[in-house]
Amino acid sequence: MMSAARHLPGDALTERSLVTLAADFGTGEVLWSFLWFFLFFIFIMLIFQIFGDIIRSDDLSGWGKALWSLFIIFIPFLGIFIYVIVRGGKMHERQVTAMQKSQQSMQQYIRDTAGGADAATQLAQLADLHSAGKIDDAEYAAAKAKVIS
Protein backbone atom coordinates (compact mmCIF):
# COMPACT_ATOMS: atom_id res chain seq x y z
CA MET A 1 0.00 0.00 0.00
CA MET A 2 1.14 3.46 -0.79
CA SER A 3 0.34 6.37 1.44
CA ALA A 4 -1.13 9.58 0.06
CA ALA A 5 1.88 11.68 1.05
CA ARG A 6 5.27 10.62 -0.11
CA HIS A 7 8.04 10.90 2.41
CA LEU A 8 11.55 11.46 1.29
CA PRO A 9 14.33 9.83 3.25
CA GLY A 10 15.59 13.17 4.61
CA ASP A 11 12.23 14.38 5.99
CA ALA A 12 12.65 12.85 9.43
CA LEU A 13 16.16 14.21 9.64
CA THR A 14 14.97 17.69 8.65
CA GLU A 15 12.20 17.68 11.29
CA ARG A 16 14.62 16.46 13.96
CA SER A 17 17.18 19.14 13.06
CA LEU A 18 14.54 21.91 13.32
CA VAL A 19 13.47 20.68 16.74
CA THR A 20 17.09 20.47 17.80
CA LEU A 21 17.74 23.98 16.51
CA ALA A 22 14.77 25.35 18.47
CA ALA A 23 15.92 23.53 21.58
CA ASP A 24 19.47 24.86 21.26
CA PHE A 25 18.25 28.46 20.83
CA GLY A 26 18.49 29.56 24.46
CA THR A 27 17.60 32.70 26.34
CA GLY A 28 20.86 34.42 25.49
CA GLU A 29 20.37 33.90 21.78
CA VAL A 30 16.80 35.18 21.99
CA LEU A 31 17.89 38.34 23.83
CA TRP A 32 20.77 38.80 21.38
CA SER A 33 18.33 38.50 18.46
CA PHE A 34 15.99 41.05 20.07
CA LEU A 35 18.92 43.44 20.49
CA TRP A 36 19.93 43.12 16.83
CA PHE A 37 16.33 43.56 15.69
CA PHE A 38 16.00 46.68 17.87
CA LEU A 39 19.23 48.13 16.47
CA PHE A 40 18.10 47.39 12.92
CA PHE A 41 14.76 49.13 13.63
CA ILE A 42 16.59 52.20 14.97
CA PHE A 43 18.82 52.19 11.89
CA ILE A 44 15.78 52.19 9.56
CA MET A 45 14.15 55.00 11.57
CA LEU A 46 17.34 57.07 11.33
CA ILE A 47 17.44 56.62 7.56
CA PHE A 48 13.84 57.87 7.20
CA GLN A 49 14.46 60.77 9.59
CA ILE A 50 17.58 61.86 7.73
CA PHE A 51 15.95 61.60 4.30
CA GLY A 52 13.09 63.75 5.63
CA ASP A 53 15.59 66.29 6.93
CA ILE A 54 17.48 66.33 3.62
CA ILE A 55 14.28 66.98 1.67
CA ARG A 56 13.02 69.56 4.18
CA SER A 57 16.33 71.48 4.29
CA ASP A 58 16.16 74.93 2.66
CA ASP A 59 19.88 75.64 2.90
CA LEU A 60 20.88 72.71 0.64
CA SER A 61 20.78 72.99 -3.12
CA GLY A 62 19.39 70.24 -5.29
CA TRP A 63 22.89 68.89 -5.91
CA GLY A 64 23.63 68.89 -2.20
CA LYS A 65 20.46 66.96 -1.49
CA ALA A 66 21.30 64.48 -4.23
CA LEU A 67 24.85 63.96 -2.97
CA TRP A 68 23.76 63.46 0.65
CA SER A 69 21.07 61.02 -0.50
CA LEU A 70 23.52 59.02 -2.61
CA PHE A 71 26.02 59.01 0.25
CA ILE A 72 23.41 57.60 2.62
CA ILE A 73 22.14 55.05 0.09
CA PHE A 74 25.54 53.65 -0.94
CA ILE A 75 27.44 53.96 2.35
CA PRO A 76 24.62 53.91 4.92
CA PHE A 77 26.42 53.56 8.26
CA LEU A 78 29.14 56.07 7.48
CA GLY A 79 26.68 58.39 5.70
CA ILE A 80 24.30 58.49 8.65
CA PHE A 81 27.04 59.14 11.18
CA ILE A 82 28.66 61.88 9.11
CA TYR A 83 25.28 63.53 8.39
CA VAL A 84 24.38 63.56 12.09
CA ILE A 85 27.80 65.02 12.98
CA VAL A 86 27.84 67.66 10.20
CA ARG A 87 24.19 68.69 10.00
CA GLY A 88 22.62 67.14 13.09
CA GLY A 89 22.59 70.32 15.16
CA LYS A 90 19.95 71.97 13.00
CA MET A 91 17.81 68.89 12.35
CA HIS A 92 15.59 69.74 15.30
CA GLU A 93 15.24 73.38 14.23
CA ARG A 94 14.15 72.38 10.72
CA GLN A 95 11.64 69.90 12.12
CA VAL A 96 10.17 72.47 14.53
CA THR A 97 9.90 75.05 11.72
CA ALA A 98 8.11 72.55 9.47
CA MET A 99 5.68 71.63 12.26
CA GLN A 100 4.95 75.30 12.98
CA LYS A 101 4.22 75.96 9.31
CA SER A 102 1.95 72.94 9.20
CA GLN A 103 0.13 74.06 12.36
CA GLN A 104 -0.35 77.59 11.01
CA SER A 105 -1.70 76.37 7.69
CA MET A 106 -4.10 74.00 9.47
CA GLN A 107 -5.36 76.80 11.74
CA GLN A 108 -5.81 79.12 8.76
CA TYR A 109 -7.74 76.43 6.91
CA ILE A 110 -10.00 75.89 9.93
CA ARG A 111 -10.62 79.63 10.24
CA ASP A 112 -11.42 79.96 6.53
CA THR A 113 -13.67 76.91 6.43
CA ALA A 114 -15.53 77.19 9.71
CA GLY A 115 -15.93 80.85 10.51
CA GLY A 116 -15.91 82.99 7.46
CA ALA A 117 -16.32 86.68 8.26
CA ASP A 118 -17.70 88.03 11.53
CA ALA A 119 -21.12 89.71 11.75
CA ALA A 120 -19.80 93.29 11.52
CA THR A 121 -17.89 92.53 8.32
CA GLN A 122 -20.92 90.83 6.79
CA LEU A 123 -23.16 93.79 7.68
CA ALA A 124 -20.64 96.19 6.14
CA GLN A 125 -20.57 94.13 2.95
CA LEU A 126 -24.38 94.07 2.85
CA ALA A 127 -24.49 97.87 3.30
CA ASP A 128 -22.00 98.30 0.43
CA LEU A 129 -24.08 96.03 -1.82
CA HIS A 130 -27.27 97.92 -0.87
CA SER A 131 -25.74 101.35 -1.44
CA ALA A 132 -24.33 100.21 -4.80
CA GLY A 133 -27.83 99.13 -5.81
CA LYS A 134 -26.97 95.46 -6.29
CA ILE A 135 -29.62 94.34 -3.78
CA ASP A 136 -32.96 96.00 -3.08
CA ASP A 137 -34.45 96.99 0.29
CA ALA A 138 -36.29 93.69 0.84
CA GLU A 139 -33.19 91.58 0.12
CA TYR A 140 -31.10 93.83 2.33
CA ALA A 141 -33.54 93.55 5.24
CA ALA A 142 -33.78 89.74 4.88
CA ALA A 143 -29.99 89.31 4.71
CA LYS A 144 -29.48 91.70 7.64
CA ALA A 145 -31.98 89.79 9.77
CA LYS A 146 -30.23 86.53 8.87
CA VAL A 147 -26.81 87.90 9.89
CA ILE A 148 -28.06 89.38 13.14
CA SER A 149 -29.94 86.27 14.26
The separation between CA 11 and the C-alpha centre of its own chain, rounded to angstroms, equals 48
Question: How far is Cα 125 from Cα 131, in angstroms, rounded to an integer?
Answer: 10
Confidence category of residue 1, pLDDT binned at 50, 70, 90: very low
Question: How far is Cα 144 from Cα 127, in angstroms, rounded to an integer?
Answer: 9
Residues 5-63 pLDDT 10s? 555 555 555 666 655 655 667 778 889 899 999 999 999 999 999 999 999 888 899 99
Secondary structure, 3-state, the chain? CCCCCCCCCCHHHHHHHHHHHHHHCCHHHHHHHHHHHHHHHHHHHHHHHHHHHHHHCCCCCHHHHHHHHHHHHHCHHHHHHHHHHHHHHHHHHHHHHHHHHHHHHHHHHHHHHHHCCCHHHHHHHHHHHHHCCCCCHHHHHHHHHHHHC
**Number of Cα atoms under 13 Å in the Cβ half of residue 79:** 19
Residues in the chain: 149
- Calculate the average pLDDT of the chain: 83
| 85 burial via Cβ count (<10 Å: 0-12, 13-18, 19+) | exposed
Q: Please list, in sequence order, all residues whose beta carbon lies within 8 angstroms of the beta carbon of residue 84, skipping any fewer than 6 positions away.
A: 46, 50, 91
Contact 81, 68 (CB under 8 A): no
Reported pTM: 0.54
More confident call, 92 vs 19? 92
Task: Give the residue extent of every domain in the chain.
Answer: 41-116, 117-149
